Structure 1
């Protein structure tokens, strides 16, 4: 997750760094006497840029820091204010846009979103004040200062929609095959069958991680986990058959096979599901598929921290010690008896 976040922040940070250095060159060229103020402004901008890259998971802090630098650039020194009004300090507009993007991308609760939005609005007020002082009508000044913020929000919305689409496209549906002397016999229900299903989920998810991650240590760990799960699945089943394949079907209809897979689920009808809220039921259904907190958050438009709180609360409620136990318990609730999970809603 952190690797993904870092890659996502690279280009915004390059843009902000370039904007800060460009503003320094323009400021020193236009007002040589104001060089100390321009250098101080540029140093503050570069520091806040680095903060956004090093702490992307603290969007409110970054929004406040951007607002402070924006106010410090526009209000204390009239020469810097003139540079801001003329567009010679591009870092302010880009900083507001990128911090709004990060805020609405990562903050899942309304309180941090409202706090960060208020901070960015206060920072933009300095640009509005400078524009009004230069003779721009109030409505036009407010509209112009709001554009970077709105661009950041729209970019965040686009990324959320992209992630949700990708999660649905990539979400596998499992069908399984089994060979052996007792292939036609019904398999026993209970903990053993749930454990085989959980091992299949682990094998599939770790295999996907091996294929997708660029981190060598993470790939090695995922490969080890996949091998352990496969060894558990290659043993003889309770009915004498051996699990031989797992087929993954995506929403486009294509499929791939992973060896080996869980046994076909031919147990009794699913047990009754306890009373839960709609949100808890959605999260439990995705936990049962082996989805990570980040993937669940993208699918349900929640922050990863919010999903983690839900999962922890559900573990306490059902007296489960870890996430795996919670997933094993939830699998029969969402199993239609054909070996395939309900599609995500």
Structure 2
């Protein structure tokens, strides 16, 4: 099986750990002596409820979050949270405050405008998203309902190293879809974190929302029940039928993270992986050109352009022939991108760096 697998650099759905896939494969038809698969089992059964509750606890444990947080499993991906955050938290007379650092951060802001008042504290759109907004000294208005940021910009390839510390006890909210679990940071400064699973958590189909109890108490009780954070908290995320198999896979991925030594160990591995690819870019003499300023580069999504755009489709075509997948840049920006999420191996990143060096020798 391993010999047939590609070097998967897709941005999401993304690579899953091979041992997780093999473990899930063993239980695919029949799980735990139930005589049926996890995809068929009732979400009200004791067997699934055990997996469901364990997965919530595991996520908090792996992230190192203290007591006082709840895990909600919701649908719609991060895109749904762009609307649900302001729907739940943006009350009359308050403003949602947004840091614009990339395409998805801007989408979150634009969605908030459809719900209520939203303002931009800082933006680097005029710089083509090549740099990140500064996080200190932000103009946070006294009527701020929250401050929202996208911690890693999947399309552009940038990642925040520092985070705002809003005054007035304003909650900080993070879209961490593409970098949750990739590095060891103090997440307790965030009042709410959300992430689509399809990067580092598991397969597509479930979104994890991690919300602090005091913010949950302030969340709206008047919007439709299916959109309320309180509904999912009160029902243990069993208000409607959850994507049971996706949550089961998240459970397996979290246990895999623990076996790797936790998030801190993955961060060291991820830094090595990204450095190998960035080195191939930086020593190329301009044949490969990094898109993001060096101090803003992401260790999850590595982006670059060729010395000539005409070489880009050739690079993609040949990379696929050599067993790589997912290296074309996002359709909105072009160029090239390697998404080196947790499950992407160091071997795959070494192979990509070697391929880049060889490609330059042949066409540079």
TM-score normalized with structure 1 length: 0.24
Report which of the two has the higher share of helix: 1
Report which of the two has the higher share of strand: 2
